[in-house]
Structure formats: structure tokens, C-alpha cells
Amino acid sequence: MSNVYEESLLLHEKYKGKLEIKSKVPLNDARDLSLAYSPGVAEPCRKIQQNQEDIYKYTSRGNMVAVITDGSAVLGLGNIGPYAALPVMEGKSILLKQFANVDSFPICLNTQDPEEIIKTCKLLAPSLGGINLEDISAPRCVEIERRLVEELDIPVFHDDQHGTAIITTAALINACRLTKKRIEDLVVVISGTGAAGSSIIKMLHKLGIKDIIAYNITGIVHKSKEKTYDPLLIEILEITNKNNKLGNDTLEYALEGADVFIGVSAGGIVNKNMIAKMNKDPFVFSMANPTPEIMPEEAKAGGAYIIGTGRSDYPNQINNVLAFPGIFRGALDCRARKINEEMKFAASLALAYLIEEEDLNKDYIVPSPFDNRIVTAVRNAVIDAAIKTNVARIK
């Protein structure tokens, strides 16, 4: 892996960052200037003043997203602050452009106070068609996103929460399609209850999975610990561990008799013996980055049947880039007031059913990021769901 880091550094240095802007209109002479700027520009201003919705007709707002972070939970690097987070935000911006032609710019906020973050996002909204929150730590991220979804009428989406959840859900649907296991019968163990883990738990609960056991650094999420839990963990507690399993309070114990392991926690914490204690032919989605909870070779040795990771060098890459470009494309195109649960779930289904049943195999349960059908499929599904749930402003 060291090579990819060195090469990445050279790439970033060569181009001095990854993002630039471009004029969509000609600017070659005094006439062009008088149309794009003074005095001509006064006319679209007047139109928007008369009818605020005309902002979508005469400006780039309808296609313009901000990728906003406070630098508190960047990749696997932790709380590295807003300056060091900028390369990731630029990366997100160019992926949005490349995969879905969504324009965006990176904003790294010099605060980690949730109220200041919420306030700032609201102040920035008039020039934005949507907000992609990024790399904000849990549980703060959940409250920040919830408030912004409530208080703004443009789509706000925290990809670290929902991106992984949407793709994990798609992967699980396809693992079941392939193996004929029934979603509602699965016992699922999730390691990690941060941004991604909490969203996965909520989404799988809505999907109909009845038995979810959550695990984090304090052990198995269990009602005996309720007094020490923040509101997010209490929410998780309410929909997990229906049989009050605790045992010796280890991940190993939790995995006994489980059908699915989902890891969004830390590298190397699962071994093949733990996998061997799961039910027959388990699904193991081990997504800690860059080192998974268990490496695919070892998971296989423990008996795992379907294996996914976050890595591009193994099959079944659970990669957020499968979801967020199409989700924003759809939300912007129908001018959605928000991105709701139905839209996220529609994105999961669209991703899953992009693969025909006869093409599914244990090394192909999620599409490749460069499958060029993805964005359109996700976009269309998201728009349909937005219209059905009355959050689309244009149809």
C-alpha cells in the first residue's frame, strides 16, 4: 500500500490540489463581459428578486453542492482538523463531478461546535442546491444532519452515515438473492456504532432484519449499559439485541450463531476462529479501511461464503462512490426538499437489482464503481421515491 501513498502525494503536488473552476459562458470581448457581468447581469438578478425560484433558471445553484466538514473524523485518520481534511473534500468534489456531473466546492470549517456548524450551513444555503456533510464524527454528525434536514429545504446528506449503509444493504440483498437465504431470518452482528454503523443498523432494521447485535469498544450494546449511552446509542439499543445477549461481552460471543458480520470499526479485530463459530456459509462484510476487521483470505479460511471489504484490491468492494453521485444527481434533478429514508432505500434496491440474478456470484454482489449504468439507475430510483413521498419540487 505504501506505493499508493507515495504516488498520491506526487499527484497532489503536481497539480496543487485537484479542483478548479471553469466558466460555462464565453468571456472573450467587451460584449461577452457586458452579458455575463455588468450591466447585463442585473436582469437575472431582477428576475430572481421577483421570483426566488428563478434562481434555478438563471444560476448554477441547482447543480451546486458544498462538501462540508469540520475535520473531526477524516477517513481512518481521526480528528485531524479542517486543514488536513481538505484533500479528502476536494476528492469528494471531483468524484461528484466525474460520476454524476454535480458541481461542488469543498468547505473545511474552523469549528467543531455542532451549533456553529449547523448555523454556518444554514447561512451558506442561498448559493447551494444541496449539502454533502463529510467526515464529521459520531454522534455529533447524526444531530447535525437531523437538524439541517429539518431546517433547510435543500437536500442534506451525510455520506459517512448513509453511503456505506446504502451499499451494505444492497450487498446484503444480493447475498440473499444469490444464496436464497431470507432477509428476515438473518442474525446480523455489526461491529462499530459510529456514523456508518448506526446508519447501517437503522437501515437493516427498516429492511426487516429482526435480530441485530451491535458491538463497539464498550462491548455488546446491551440494556444493562443504558445509563452510560448517548442518545444515538440509546436509539441503537432500542432496535438491537432483542434477546438481550451479553455472555462474556465479546465480539466472539456475539458472532456465535450469527449469519452476517458487518465491520465498520477497526482493522484486525476478527479472526478465523470467530468466523468458524458463525452459522454455516456466513456473509462477512469487513469494511474497516485500509485494514479490514478480518482479511478476506482469513475470513474464507474460517468458512465465510460471501466476503466484501472497502478495498479495491478484493472482490465486492463496498465503496460509497456507488451511491452518493447518483443520489445527489437524483435529488438535484427533482429539486428534492430532502433526502429521506425512502430515497436511500430506493438507491439500495437500484444498486442491488442492477445485477441480474443469473449474473450474481459470490465475488459479484455489488456493481463495480466504473459500471456506467449506476448513476442513472440510482438517480431514477431516487427521483421516483422523492415524487412518491412528496419531497420532489419538480416532476
The residue annotated as part of the active site, out of 92, 245, 338, 344, is 92
333-366: string of b/e by CB count within 10 Å (b at 16+)?
bbbbbbbbebbbbbbbbbbbebbeeeebebeebb
Q: Confirm whether 280 is a catalytic residue.
A: no
Beta-carbon contacts of residue 5 (< 8 Å; ≥ 6 apart): none
Beta-carbon contacts of residue 245 (< 8 Å; ≥ 6 apart): 213, 220, 222, 253, 254
Report whether 329 contacts 375 (CB < 8 A).
yes
Question: Quick check: helix, strand or coil at residue 132?
Answer: strand
What is the phi/psi pair of residue 152, to 5°? -115, 155
Residue number with CB closer to a second copy (110 or 361): 110
Residue number with CB closer to a second copy (25 or 182): 25
Closest distance of CB 69 from a second copy, Å: 9
Closest distance of CB 193 from a second copy, Å: 21
CA angle, 66 then 72 then 75, to 5°: 80
Closest distance of CB 114 from a second copy, Å: 13
Residue number with CB closer to a second copy (15 or 218): 15
Residue number with CB closer to a second copy (61 or 222): 61
The residue annotated as part of the active site, out of 5, 37, 83, 388, is 37
Q: Confirm whether 92 is a catalytic residue.
A: yes
Closest distance of CB 67 from a second copy, Å: 10
Closest distance of CB 178 from a second copy, Å: 23
CA dist 135 → 39, 150, 223, 268, 288 (Å): 42, 20, 29, 22, 15
Residue number with CB closer to a second copy (37 or 146): 37
Report d(CA 375, CA 180) in Å as an integer: 28
- Residues catalogued as catalytic: 37, 92
